[in-house]
Structure 1
Amino acid sequence: MRLLRSTDLALRVLMRLVVAGDSNPTTRDVAAAVDVPYTHAAKVVAELQHMGLLTARRGRGGGLALTERGRTASVGAVVRAFEGEDDVVDCEGTSALAACPLRSDCRLRGALRRAQEAFFASLDPLTVADLATGPTGPLLLQISRAL
């Protein structure tokens, strides 16, 4: 399974904020730290704020801060929110692709759905805070200080 870029970016933003402590980096700071365009980071930050995982304040003394909910959020829940829970394959078809003639009696769709759910379930016990433990946290801080 391949994650959307926005999902990957959301996880990297959250990881960066776990190690931020009280520094409250700006969206620009975080974008630079994780090496992505500011506009992409801003869209992801807006979605994470909407989800209640971080707060964003403008102006002097502003910046981004992880909420307690964001710190304890399940990685599986974050990935589900960004990826959506649609089927892995589109059996109904689109304007460019005809509907699959096997859709009424196909076992592939169910197997892929179970595999997708197993992927999400394997991420469920992991929290956002867990992502920044071990060697990852100090590395994130080192990268941020280098900027």
Structure 2
Amino acid sequence: MRLTTKTNLAVRVLMACAVNDAITLRSAEIATACNASLNHLLQVVNALQGFGFVDTIRGRSGGLRLTRPAAQISIGDVFRVFESGVPFAECFSAETNTCPLSETCRLRGYLSRAVEAFYHELDMVTLEDLTKGNCGLTALLEVPDSLRRTCTESALT
């Protein structure tokens, strides 16, 4: 199984917002911190906003932030939004399926259950699970020094 670039970027954006919870982040700052193309990142931010994961604020002091606490954002929900348009295998797409085995193949049923098990596991993971106390992630996403010190101090205790 391979995730799309959009799903990968979506999780990076959400983690950056969660780590910098008290700050409105600019897309360019996130793109730099996450080593991502600003153009691709803006498309992902637009989708995240459309699906209610982030609020965007236009203008000079604009940026983006989470719409709800990180503990209330399911990673499974994020993956479903960004992966739903990509069929796992050819036979999962009614429009493009040309496999002659589709009618009698049993593999599709097993794959369907495996994909559902994958999403079930991700449903139990929140954005907070990925970010809380993750000092390495905090350092990579360039939070202000005051927040970085707090994270380092809590890791030592």
Normalized against structure 2, the TM-score is what?
0.81
The aligned residue for residue 144 of structure 1 is: 141
SS in 1 for 2:129: helix
Q: 1:23-38 counterparts in 2 under 5 A? A: 23-38=23-38
What's the CA shift for 1:71?
5.0
Measure, in 2, the Cα distance between the counterparts of 1:99 and 1:144. 44
Distance 1:73 1:144, change over 3 A: closer
- Paired residues for 1:1-147 under 5 Å: 1-68=1-68, 72-84=72-84, 87-91=87-91, 94=96, 99-135=98-134, 138-145=135-142
Please tell me the root mean square deviation across aligned C-alpha atoms, in Å. Answer: 2.0
Q: Which amino acid aligns with 1:140?
A: L
Runs of 4+ in structure 1 deviating by more than 4 angstroms, as ranges, are none
TM-superposition CA deviations, 1:63-106 (whole Å, max 9, x none): 11111166512101110110007642112574xxx722211111
Are the structure 2 counterparts of residues 25 and 15 from structure 1 closer, same or farther at C-alpha, using a change threshold of 3 Å?
same
* TM-score (normalised: structure 1): 0.86
Q: Could you say which structure has the higher helix fraction?
A: 2
| 1:124 Cα deviation from its structure 2 partner | 0.4
Aligned identity (percent) is 40
Alpha-carbon separation, structure 2, partners of 1:23 and 1:129: 16
Structure 1 alignment gaps of length 5 or more: none
Cα distance in 2 for residues equivalent to 1:145 and 1:14: 14
Count of matched residue pairs: 141
**Inter-partner Cα distance in structure 1 for 2:140 and 2:78:** 24
Q: Which blocks of at least 5 consecutive residues in structure 2 are unaligned? A: 144-157
